Amino acid sequence: MDSRYPIREVFRDSLDWYLQEHIPSAEQLSAANAISKCKTGELGYNASVCDECGHTVTHSCSCRNRSCPNCQSVLKEVWIDKRRSEVLDARYFHVVFTVPHILNALFLANQKLLYSLLFEAASQTLLTLSQDKRYLGAEPGIIRVLHTWGQNLAYHPHVHCIISGAGLTRDHKLAVSGKSFFIPIKAAMKVFRGKFMASLKSYRSSGKLVIPDSCSDLALPDGWQSFVDRLYSTDWCPYIKETFNGNGNAISYLGRYTHRVAISNGRITDMTDDTVTFWYKDYKDGCSRKEMTLSHEEFIRRFLMHVLPKRFQKIRYYGYLSNGSKARKLHLLFKLQGHQQFTAKFSADTPKDVILSDVLGIDVHLCPCCGKSSMRYLGRRYYLRP
């Protein structure tokens, strides 16, 4: 057992047993198989040799699955680098939108549909209120990241977003907010709930919404109306987590969320042949740190519950960061601001080892044996010679 990758070891030990009792989706099965093979050598090796001393180094290939806890570090650093080059000299705010837990069964049965609705309702809420002259009176930049888990791996769909405290007005001027968040949180809650519920009712009346067996009463008019009334009477609780100045801290902070998976290897505290123990923060108990022990089967079930549908975009951009107009609007905003704070260090063609060297602060090419010569890459291998 490799103690560096306990989550992978759980999948390697117990995935076959899990599949005898459960039928995962194609995406979940693909992720499970990728995680169980990641950095084991089953996907091949990268080999390098030192021409000075002859020392040879091999590295097992990673699976590069977006749900794998072992494969996100380089992708995260590239993403942060690119987003920092788009930062304005203004405050940034971290806002979280969530939905009541009574919607969980509908979300699980309609993942693509309702995840997209969650994105759209949250983005339209912030854009609509931001452009109101009582608040910012401009179009801000918004980055959104979908998460579906809580700290204990329970199902909890919500959206993290970073919104700029500056934006572009309709007459192409720069508007900047003060130190506090410029949108009243109670107004945001009501608008968000209204937009989400309007679309949800429309999906149900048009037949787009799948009603799972566990919610069969929602197929009846009285059951559906009672469900809707209950949702309207519930607080949906969007809230502000952090505020930042415009020095790039907001993007680095959000980078912790963009490429995060349901649980990291670092949170696993113990593992036996049958159980997994991990720590989590209990936000209902003052963020106290607690431990939870699950069977391998239940751990895999909870983990796979958070694998997103195929090709679903978990990171989305709105406002002046929308892909269609981002370059033009950012150029104008930097011109109005008088400067651009950061430029990207990496390009699309930057080699992975260069990025690793920058992140780790060491020369990954240098021979770890003699320390005198650079390692020469030999290529990818699918077996190791004796």
CB 101 within 8 A of CB 191: no
> Residue 317 corresponds to which tokens in the numbers above?
């951009």
Place of tokens 């391998």: 296
The rounded distance, in Å, linking the Cα atoms of 10 and 53 is: 39
pLDDT tens track for 212-246: 999 999 999 999 999 999 999 988 877 887 777 65
Instruction: Single out the residue of 332, 359, 330 nearest to residue 345, CA to CA.
Output: 359
Q: How many degrees, rounded to 5, is the angle at CA 238 between CA 233 and CA 170? A: 115
Q: Please tell me the predicted confidence (pLDDT) of residue 340.
A: 85
Give the HSE-up count for residue 15: Cα atoms under 13 Å, Cβ half-sphere: 19
Q: Please tell me the predicted confidence (pLDDT) of residue 359.
A: 63
CB 284 within 8 A of CB 378: no
CATH number, span 73-262+306-337: 3.40.1310
Instruction: Single out the residue of 153, 203, 198 nearest to residue 305, CA to CA.
Output: 153
Q: Please tell me the predicted confidence (pLDDT) of residue 349.
A: 61
Instruction: Single out the residue of 302, 318, 7, 8 nearest to residue 156, CA to CA.
Output: 302
Give the HSE-up count for residue 204: Cα atoms under 13 Å, Cβ half-sphere: 18
CB 63 within 8 A of CB 34: yes
3 state SS of 207: coil
Q: Please tell me the predicted confidence (pLDDT) of residue 84.
A: 83
Q: Please tell me the predicted confidence (pLDDT) of residue 362.
A: 65
Q: How many residues does the chain have?
A: 386
Alpha helices in 70-110 (DSSP H): 73-84, 104-109
> Residue 306 corresponds to which tokens in the numbers above?
């958070």
The rounded distance, in Å, linking the Cα atoms of 218 and 203 is: 13
User: Within the chain, which residue ranges are assigned CATH 3.40.1310?
Assistant: 73-262+306-337
**Mean pLDDT for each consecutive 10-residue tract of the chain (386 residues)?**
85 95 95 94 88 86 91 81 86 92 95 96 94 92 93 93 92 89 89 96 95 92 95 85 70 80 93 95 88 96 95 94 92 91 70 64 76 80 55
- Which residues make beta-bridge pairs with 289? 281
